[in-house]
Amino acid sequence: MPTLDNLRIAVIATDGVEEPELAEPVRALREAGARTELLSVKPGQIQAVRHDLQPTQKFAVDKTLDQADPADYDALLLPGGAVNADRLRMEPDVQSFINEINDAGKPMAVICHAPWELISSGVARGRTLTSYHTVQDDLRNAGATWVDREVVVDGRLVTSRRPDDIPAFNREMLKLFAAARRVSGS
């Protein structure tokens, strides 16, 4: 397993986040030595769900987006969930954060419906990625190439389709974040 000792990873989510798409990648990052911070548009806690929208656990927010500086992070994780991604995609602070991470050449890991946030931030155009199947038309309309694979790596961006793909997503996310660390010297 790649080592990510002390790499700082921003995780952006809100109510309606798909629980395994938040919990399992964060666990993999922490097991590899990374430090994760959950950022949201509101303080306190966010309510996770399963795909059927059944509430599961709540997660404590470490900072609100207006308190976080993208320059303080080495990478970004965007978990999915239709409600989560739809709420976040229209938030100017989310769009700004994603753009700053992208412009700095930092890696991003994005799963399920979260590519909506890439579309709204203007960073999907020209990229090859995957997502939950219902997002494919939106990605194509935004100028991206959509493929139906469990995981896709395009430069410093890794995308995946759904919770079943999390093992492949985590594997590629860890490799991508470790490779970016070697390049940046973090």
Residues near 8 by Cβ (< 8 Å), separated by ≥ 6?
A: 34, 35, 37, 72, 73, 74, 75
Note whether 89 and 78 are within 8 A (CB).
no
Task: Give the burial class of 72: count Cβ atoms within 10 A of its Cβ; 0-12 exposed, 13-18 middle, 19 or more buried.
Answer: exposed
Stretch (H or E) spanning 17: strand 17-18
Helix (H, G, I), strand (E, B) or coil at 151: strand
Where in the sequence numbering do the catalytic residues fall?
112
The string of DSSP codes covering 32-88 is TT-EEEEEESSSSEEEEE-TT--EEEEEE-SEEGGG--GGG-SEEEE---HHHHHHH
Residues near 35 by Cβ (< 8 Å), separated by ≥ 6?
A: 6, 7, 8, 9
DSSP character at residue 162 = S
The length of the chain is: 186
